[in-house]
Structure 1
Amino acid sequence: MCTYLTNKVELIGSAKGAEGWFAAKEATVYLDHPVHALYDHSLNIDFINPDLGASFRVAVELDPKSAVALAHAILETVSAFPELAGKA
């Protein structure tokens, strides 16, 4: 199932790629066939800084069930500290 559904999220954060740490300014999230993972479909997340070029990218391919578990863990962790979750 190729959905072609792609979501982009602006970020304030850091990611560690092949050339070291860089400012992660954007994440692209999509469900598609993985490039490396050994299953039919994966939830893919690319953390990038478009200002720095293609080498400043961290790609993650997750089994969809793992992606849901990760999303729940993120929401649970951040919601435990509402005073921080509202800051940007």
Structure 2
Amino acid sequence: MCTYLTEKVEINGSGKGRDGYFPLTHAMVYVDHPQHAPYEHTVNIDFLNPSQGAGARIPLELTEEAALALVAAIQNTLATAPPGLASEKAAAGH
């Protein structure tokens, strides 16, 4: 069942598309039918920069288990890194 519920968040980062790296400004997370993954439904995460057009999009289609494992891996990685190491403030001093 598709929920049609979408979480949209502003982000700062970069991603690699077909033409190389581009700035990422948003991420969208939703549960829906995948375009490619061989499952009925997936957790879909789109990293994008709408100002750069349709080509500035990196889509992910994950199973629920894979999405939860990714969340845990991100949380574990951030918990073991020095606080603020990957923050915007740290990048400004770089």
Identify whether the pair has TM-score above 0.5, normalized to the shorter chain: yes
Residue identity matched to 2:42: S
Listed as ranges, the gaps of 5+ residues in structure 1 are none
Mark the runs of 5 or more structure 2 residues left unpaired by the alignment.
89-94
Could you tell me which residue of structure 2 aligns to residue 87 of structure 1?
A: 87
**Identity percentage of aligned residues:** 49
Residue number in structure 1 paired with 2:67: 67
Compute the TM-score of the two structures, normalised by the length of structure 2. Answer: 0.86
Q: What corresponds to 1:48 in structure 2? A: 48
Which 4+ residue blocks in structure 1 deviate beyond 2 angstroms?
85-88
- Secondary structure of the residue that 2:51 maps to in structure 1? coil
Equivalenced residue count is: 88
RMSD: 1.4
Separation in 2, partners of 1:44, 1:86: 24
Alignment CA distance shift 1:45-1:78 (3 Å): same
Q: TM-score with structure 1 length normalisation?
A: 0.92
**Aligned partner of 1:51: which letter?**
S
SS at match of 1:51: helix
